[in-house]
Structure 1
Amino acid sequence: MAATDFPAEIRALRATLESIEAVTDVPALKRTIAELSEEASAPDLWDDTDKAQAVTSKLSHAQSSLERVTSLAERIDDLEVLVELGEDEEDPESMAEAEKELVKIRKALDSLEVVTLLSGEYDERDAVITIRAGAGGVDAADFAEMLLRMYTRLAERRGWDVKVLDTSYAEEAGLKSATFEVKAPYAFGTLSVEAGTHRLVRISPFDNQGRRQTSFAAVEVIPLIETTDTIEIPESELKIDVFRSSGPGGQSVNTTDSAVRMTHIPTGIVVSMQNEKSQIQNRAAALRVMQSRLLLLKKEQENKEKKELAGDVKASWGDQMRSYVLHPYQMVKDLRTGHEVGTTAAVFDGNIDDFIDAGIKWRAEQRQA
């Protein structure tokens, strides 16, 4: 095996980092941190809790973004020193350590490069994800629950906050639907590539004849509304029904009419919320998600009009965007990017980072094209 050309590799790492720094706009990021730090130190900041949380969250994200870039620059410098010492002293252990660190830095740069592709209007936002069981009966409901676990496990590993807003349980097993909120910087931009129809092929555990079953689940990802967004919904356009919560619950969750079903009459969009303790809390949560869906619908309509004017006839990406095959072989394959793995158990345990990264790169290429 040929020896690694460390000087060339380190030059390549620095060139990649420089391009990332240019896209990130480090000077602007430092100015933003200074401005937010000044806001965060104001004595009356916590008089407005919502504003205070928004400022501290933005500051934390900006500081993390800067730290990711600066720490990589330091790691590349340290790698160069390690290589020089290893070569001067002809130390094979130092050179082996340098090889390992080179691989780690490359991977970190790849991940950072993916983040720089999240430049959409709402990519920085928190995300609201809804999973719905599709065709396939009880297997589809079970598949919907498997996807919910997959995304919550992903969030746990990444340190993201997840709040389940609504769950509708199927009669035999699994879920008819589930809606949850993911609070993290760039949650929407990162997870929006998961939107579409997911397909599962397996021997059904619910079929006493052990037949193979194909089932489907739909994943919807929308950006969470912010107080600065101007989505006003007249009361006359909303129909609100209250009902008793269903499924597992404790205390007063399923003993009072606290659940809320909100319908936007002009579009027919329906949002249900039942996981908060009071009707008022469920109504507020439903309104936020309704505003988010209407915001995304407005954006989609604007994009559709632009595409029609430009004569763009490319199909939108959605149906059967990923297949999960458990029989007769083991494979998970993204039908847009071609990325596939044979470790199905790991995927359902939330190890889908490579699928997400490939999806973000694919989307960027589609936008450029």
Structure 2
Amino acid sequence: MAAIDFSEEIPHLRATLTSIEKVTDLDALHAKIADLEKQASAPDLWDDVDNAQKVSSALSHAQAELRRVDELGSRIDDLEVMVELAAEEDDAETLEEAEKEFASIRKALDELEVRTLLSGEYDERNAVVTIRAGAGGVDAADFAEMLLRMYMRWAERHGYPTKVMDTAYAEEAGLKAVTFEVSAPYAYGTLSVEGGTHRLVRISPFDNQGRRQTSFAAVEVIPLIESTDSIEIPENELKIDVFRSSGPGGQSVNTTDSAVRMTHIPTGTVVSMQDEKSQIQNRAAALRVMQSRLLLLKRAEEAAERKELAGDVKASWGDQMRSYVLNPYQMVKDLRTEYTEGNPSSVFDGEIDGFIEAGIRWRVGQQREAAAEAQANS
């Protein structure tokens, strides 16, 4: 590996951090923290538990974001000192340590830089992810469960809390469908690029003849709406059924009819919820997810109308967005970005940041191209 020219690379790190600080708007972030600290210190804060939790969470996230930027500045300073010491002492071991720290800082800056590209209306929100088994029978159901573990491991690696909201188990193995929430700043903006059809090619463990099987799973990512969002659903547009929660193989895990299935009659959108202990809690959770899905549906319809008015604008993701191939070779490839990993095991273990970052950069590029083409056609 070629030696790193720190005289060029350290100023480049500083320039990247400076551009990130400008986009992040540190003054606004400091003001936001001051306002949240004021709210958090109010003596009546916990009179409204839901609001108190939101304020505490927002404050914690904002402080963490500021700390992340500040710590990178300190790490670059320390790296510069480390390099100077290594040169003065002609210390190969310290120089090797500096090279490792440089790579770590570069990776952290890349992650922060990608964050600055998330500027959509709902990008800051928590994400609600639904995985559904598609074509491929029991292999597809098993694939859906593999994807669930992949996203859970990814969230765990980043310290993001997750909560499974609803699970429908397949009869033989795996999952028919599962819905879970990821609670983190920009969770929706980050994970939204994972939406689409995922394809798995492997020797089926469920085929006694050891044949290769192709199976599919659909991933849907929506933002979790806030109570302040103006999405009103008339009561007469909702059909609500209650039933008992169940575990794998139809095993009952609840002796009361606490699970809720909510159907939006005009659109046919269905949400099931069985994670909470009571029917009232499940109904409230189902309503929030229903509102989120209808909000996304409304945005998609508006986008389609704009696209029709603007002409044929390139902004399509396509149905099949990623292939996971385990046989006859080992590779995971995103078909939109061409980003590829040669170790599917690590990908299924949650190492998907490369795919996510490439997807976000690709999407921003597509949006810019679409905007330029729309402007040219106007």
TM-score, length-scaled by structure 2: 0.93
Contact 1:14/1:76 (CA < 8 Å) preserved in 2? yes
In structure 2, what is the equivalent of residue 136 of structure 1? 136
Cα displacement string for residues 14-69 of structure 1 (whole angstroms, at most 9, x for unaligned residues): 11111111110111111111111111111111111111111111111111111111
Greater shift, 146-155 or 270-279, is seen at 270-279
The one-letter code sitting in structure 2 at the alignment partner of 1:297 is L
Matched position secondary structure for 1:321: strand
Is 1:324 the counterpart of 2:324? The answer is yes
In structure 2, what is the equivalent of residue 186 of structure 1? 186
Structure 1 residues 22-61: aligned runs within 5 Å? 22-61=22-61
Per the TM alignment, residue 89 of structure 1 is displaced from its structure 2 partner at its CA by: 3.3
Greater shift, 351-360 or 87-96, is seen at 87-96
Alpha carbons of structure 1 residues 94 and 56: separation in structure 2 relative to 1, 3 Å: same
The one-letter code sitting in structure 2 at the alignment partner of 1:194 is E
Contact 1:136/1:213 (CA < 8 Å) preserved in 2? yes
Greater shift, 157-166 or 214-223, is seen at 157-166
- Between the aligned partners of 1:60 and 1:254, the Cα distance in structure 2 is 35
Cα displacement string for residues 266-298 of structure 1 (whole angstroms, at most 9, x for unaligned residues): 111011112222221211111111011011111
Greater shift, 128-137 or 155-164, is seen at 155-164
The one-letter code sitting in structure 1 at the alignment partner of 2:24 is T
In structure 2, what is the equivalent of residue 207 of structure 1? 207
Cα displacement string for residues 238-268 of structure 1 (whole angstroms, at most 9, x for unaligned residues): 0111122232499984322222111101111
Cα displacement string for residues 54-98 of structure 1 (whole angstroms, at most 9, x for unaligned residues): 111111111111111111111111122222233233333333322
Matched position secondary structure for 2:296: helix
Greater shift, 292-301 or 247-256, is seen at 247-256
- Between the aligned partners of 2:24 and 2:343, the Cα distance in structure 1 is 34
In structure 1, what is the equivalent of residue 106 of structure 2? 106
The one-letter code sitting in structure 1 at the alignment partner of 2:21 is E
- Between the aligned partners of 1:47 and 1:317, the Cα distance in structure 2 is 46
In structure 2, what is the equivalent of residue 229 of structure 1? 229
Alpha carbons of structure 1 residues 212 and 93: separation in structure 2 relative to 1, 3 Å: closer
The one-letter code sitting in structure 1 at the alignment partner of 2:64 is S
Contact 1:253/1:275 (CA < 8 Å) preserved in 2? no
Alpha carbons of structure 1 residues 85 and 367: separation in structure 2 relative to 1, 3 Å: same
- Residue identity over aligned pairs, in percent, reads 77
Report how many residues are paired: 369
Matched position secondary structure for 1:287: helix
In structure 2, what is the equivalent of residue 15 of structure 1? 15
- Between the aligned partners of 1:295 and 1:230, the Cα distance in structure 2 is 9
Contact 1:196/1:218 (CA < 8 Å) preserved in 2? yes
Matched position secondary structure for 1:239: strand
Contact 2:212/2:327 (CA < 8 Å) preserved in 1? yes
Per the TM alignment, residue 99 of structure 1 is displaced from its structure 2 partner at its CA by: 2.0
Unmatched 5+ residue regions in structure 2? Answer: 370-378
Unmatched 5+ residue regions in structure 1? Answer: none
In structure 2, what is the equivalent of residue 151 of structure 1? 151
- Between the aligned partners of 1:67 and 1:132, the Cα distance in structure 2 is 38
Per the TM alignment, residue 334 of structure 1 is displaced from its structure 2 partner at its CA by: 0.6
Matched position secondary structure for 1:216: strand
| RMSD of aligned residue pairs (Cα, Å) | 1.8
Alpha carbons of structure 1 residues 318 and 129: separation in structure 2 relative to 1, 3 Å: farther
Cα displacement string for residues 87-135 of structure 1 (whole angstroms, at most 9, x for unaligned residues): 2333333333222222221111111111111111111101111110101
- Between the aligned partners of 1:28 and 1:82, the Cα distance in structure 2 is 33
The one-letter code sitting in structure 2 at the alignment partner of 1:254 is N
The one-letter code sitting in structure 2 at the alignment partner of 1:150 is M
Greater shift, 80-89 or 335-344, is seen at 80-89
- Between the aligned partners of 1:177 and 1:214, the Cα distance in structure 2 is 18
Contact 2:198/2:322 (CA < 8 Å) preserved in 1? yes
Cα displacement string for residues 146-167 of structure 1 (whole angstroms, at most 9, x for unaligned residues): 1111111111111111111111
- Between the aligned partners of 2:91 and 2:49, the Cα distance in structure 1 is 56
Cα displacement string for residues 170-198 of structure 1 (whole angstroms, at most 9, x for unaligned residues): 11111111111111111111111110000
In structure 2, what is the equivalent of residue 297 of structure 1? 297
